Amino acid sequence: MLQKGLKGIVAAETAISHIDGSEGKLIYRGYEIGELTSRFSFEEVAHLLWFGKLPDKEQLQNLKSELIKNRELPLHIKSILDQLPKDMDLMSVIRTAISSEGVSSYGWKPTTSQAIRLTSLVPTIICYRSRLLDGKPFVEPSNELNHVENYLYMLTGDIPSKAHTLALETYMILTLEHGMNASTFSARVTASTESDMVSAATAAIGTMKGPLHGGAPSAVIDLLDEIRKVGSAEQVIRGKLENGEKLMGFGHRVYKTHDPRAVALKAKLLELVGEDEWLDLALEVETSAIALLEEYKPGRALYTNVEFYAAAIMKAIELDPALFTPTFTASRMVGWTAHILEQSEDNTIYRPQSEYTGKFHDKVTINE
């Protein structure tokens, strides 16, 4: 039976994550996402996805050391970043730079060491290229900062505040992995041919680039900007609902109740009340929006999705919109590589069928 886009078709078994849309749950390796974001760091959750378990102190230190060791860009990647056209979008830049990493040491089968290296390289690639285009000197990665802190440090040249680090770290943990989405499927299909990890990751990056998958929460930022300017969340939101406009940042195609990622982000931001005005504004806007949505669309169960709070975090850390999807990519590299590793352990090449809709001719005819 034809299912366009393979929607609803089970194509693989996985122990990495589970999404329960009806119950509003996202589970990484058996742990609910809210528990992980409330207690563990980016590095600890990455270890969980790659190795199947949370690390002890020694394992965590080893992983941190490996991530730090692989942050520095090789000369050939710096040269590529220097020479790429200035109007080349950043996702294409990341794709090209990561592709150039595909040397002979990357072969079948993929390894966790390769996964760690690719994850380490992406933030440095983003920051090197961004500062180059801004006419600013490159900020060398720090050996003293954790993964998310170092990313913010390389972007700005300043040690980030605790509030900004915790907010972005929570967001990046929440976007590490999300089931068999389009980019993860691309990665697994490529890996299933026994191609190398770099090729599979490059395929995933190319898929993430598409606006239907890796689109940035720009519309939510526009909403927050408007509310801040007007000074009343209720006035702006009521006006949009009266005009029949869609309220961006609310509702999700998978989660039919609360988006667990938004719940986890909100919980973290509640710990940071008073630390940043944009994060505080997001909390205020959500309260007003949920009440008004229930008033105008009763029974629709339209709750905040992860893009809503992601937009507030991006505003708070003053992240340029061009960096939204690349930042998403920097975190999702963990999930992609975890799936590539899992695919390699019990591999079968993907070979779906297609339904022919063309014509059938009895014989070849040529017009004279």
Supply the residues annotated as catalytic. 252, 307
Q: Residue 25 — φ and ψ, nearest 5°?
A: -125, 140
- Please tell me the distance from the alpha carbon of residue 209 to that of residue 252, in angstroms, as a whole number: 20
Enumerate the H helices of the chain as residue ranges: 33-39, 42-51, 57-69, 75-83, 90-99, 112-133, 147-156, 162-174, 182-192, 197-208, 211-214, 218-230, 233-242, 260-271, 277-296, 306-316, 324-345
Q: What is the DSSP string of 49-64?
A: HHHSS---HHHHHHHH
- Decide if 265 contacts 175 (C-beta within 8 A): no
Q: Residue 319 — φ and ψ, nearest 5°?
A: -80, 130
Which amino acid, residue 349? I
Helix (H, G, I), strand (E, B) or coil at 258: coil
Longest dimension (CA), the chain: 80
- Please tell me the distance from the alpha carbon of residue 195 to that of residue 193, in angstroms, as a whole number: 5
Q: Which two tokens stand for residue 123?
A: 């933030």
- Please tell me the distance from the alpha carbon of residue 307 to that of residue 247, in angstroms, as a whole number: 12
- Please tell me the distance from the alpha carbon of residue 103 to that of residue 244, in angstroms, as a whole number: 53
Q: Residue 318 — φ and ψ, nearest 5°?
A: 55, 45
